[in-house]
Amino acid sequence: MTQMLSKQAAHQAMHKKYVLSSWSAQAALMAPVVTRGEGRFFYDEDDNRYLDLSAGLVSTNLGHGHPAVVKAIQEQAAKLCYSPTGFFQDKRAELAEALVKLSPYGDTEGARVFFTSGGAEANDDAVRMARALTGRFKILAAYRSYHGSTGVSMQLTGEDRRFGNEPAIAPGIVHFWAPYTYRSPFYTQDPALECDRALEHLERTLLHENPRNVAAILVEPIVGSNGVIVYPDGYLEGLRRITQQHGILLIFDEVMTGFYRTGEAFAAQKFNVTPDIMTFAKGVTSAYIPLGGVIVREGLAQYFDTKALPVGHTYAGHPLCVATGLAAVKAYQDDGIREQVQQLEGWLREGLKALESRHPLLGEARGIGGFWALEFVKDKDTREPLVPWHGDGPGVMKNLFAELKKRGVYSFGKFNIAMVTPPLNITRGELDFGLEALDYAISALEAGV
């Protein structure tokens, strides 16, 4: 007798049959089928509700279904979905102006924006622009970083997602160690020493690579999916000083940190360090429509007045995407998201530090603004990671996320890290619901170890 599958079960079977999902061996995959979202929640096909405690992939900063952004998508879709890139476009111009004004270049004339479809493309293109601008080819990027999954950005990436893509198809990328005080590569737990030693290591790396061949140093100003690592005071300033000394461009990958995730529009403003080039994606549209881009500072952007820009895409500055970005940027301002994040940071610090003090396996809760991570250890004194960095073979951490899901909360993580990066407009009540679920889920994790 054939059994009738529920709609959700039928879609799950169809998904497994036809879809290849990112970064995964496919056979073991199974997940609820998401069909709608509203505010800080999304719903599966059986109408189970999930609190979006990680804002998708640190991207739905405004939550789901923001009415002004949805309206802008509808209006633009009805008016114009595509125009050839050889023509100018009204919303593209308006969003570029809004982004330059929002960026640390806002007070100067001459910064310009190139639009892409996402963060990886933006990093690829930023590197290719830096190579054109300097006539140099080497790029330095940090270990324990993620920069995307296209040719150059994958090789910039300093973690295991690169391994399946080696040998490199994008040559000339050199990795170095950046500070990480909780798990120091420089044998200290003192943030000031960590900073000094990390900068010394960078200078030594540069010397041995020949700084005159180095076009750019590209970093996440706060490490994102590799554990929300906020660099010690002085490190980003040190990067700025060293790059300036050697005529090297400094590129900030602000794909996760942009659009008020840190409490300021970009991390560059939060830390008061201005790079030469910035990349962005995710929050620019609150992830409602794919969009990313590169902002090039004044003085550099003008190089391309007489030399052809060495990058281009069918969807560069796609009307529907930029109209969405324009509405989202306006919504951040109209809704007072900057002020909301000041408050959110206090709630997260209090709630997550309380979890840290209560749970023996929660080694550190760390973060800034609405950007937090939990790092799990076997022992708080030795700081031995709960699961090895290159693989959680038995799937210990999966239990944490499964328990959260059972309690109607979504979060994601990597190895011994869980991200807590909610939509920036989450309410106190919603966050408390998420924190309570985390408390239970960590207890379940501890009971199972």
Ligand X SMILES: Cc1ncc(COP(=O)(O)O)c(C=O)c1O
Which of 328, 345, 291, 335 lies closest to 313, judged by CA?
291
**Nearer to ligand X by C-beta: 314 or 382?**
314
401 makes contact with ligand X (CB under 6 A)? no
Which listed residue (53, 69, 99, 120) binds ligand X by CB under 6 A? 120
Q: Is 411 in the site for ligand X (CB under 6 A)?
A: no
- 220 lines the binding site for ligand X (CB under 6 A): yes
Taking residues 285 to 304 in sequence order and writing x for each that binds ligand X by CB under 6 A, - otherwise, the string is: -------x------------
Does 118 engage in binding with ligand X (CB under 6 A)?
yes
Q: Which of 56, 148, 317, 319 binds ligand X (CB under 6 A)?
A: 148
| Token representation of residue 186 | 């420089």
Q: Is 321 in the site for ligand X (CB under 6 A)?
A: no
Q: Which of residues 221-240 bind ligand X (CB under 6 A)?
A: 224-225
Q: How far is the CB of 129 from ligand X (least distance, A)?
A: 16
Stretch that binds ligand X, among 35-43, 117-125, 362-370, 407-415 (CB under 6 A): 117-125
- Kindly state the smallest distance separating residue 175's Cβ from ligand X, in Å: 15
What part of residues 50-69 is at the interface with ligand X (CB under 6 A)?
57
> In this chain, which stretch among 33-41, 253-261, 400-408, 441-449 interacts with ligand X, using CB under 6 A?
253-261
Position 255 contacts ligand X (CB under 6 A): yes
For ligand X, the closer of residues 57 and 170 by Cβ is: 57
Task: State in angstroms the smallest separation of the CB of 118 from ligand X.
Answer: 3
Nearest residue to ligand X by CB is 119
Task: Decide whether 12 or 117 has the Cβ nearer to ligand X.
Answer: 117
Question: Of 201-209, 220-228, 270-278, 406-414, which segment contacts ligand X by CB under 6 A?
Answer: 220-228
* Binding segment (CB under 6 A) for ligand X, from list 127-135, 248-256, 295-303, 331-339: 248-256
Rounded least distance, CB 69 to ligand X, Å:
18
CB of 50 to ligand X, least distance (A): 20
73 Cα distance to chain centroid: 23
Which residues form the interface with ligand X (CB under 6 A)? 57, 118-120, 123, 146-148, 220, 224-225, 253, 255-256, 281, 292
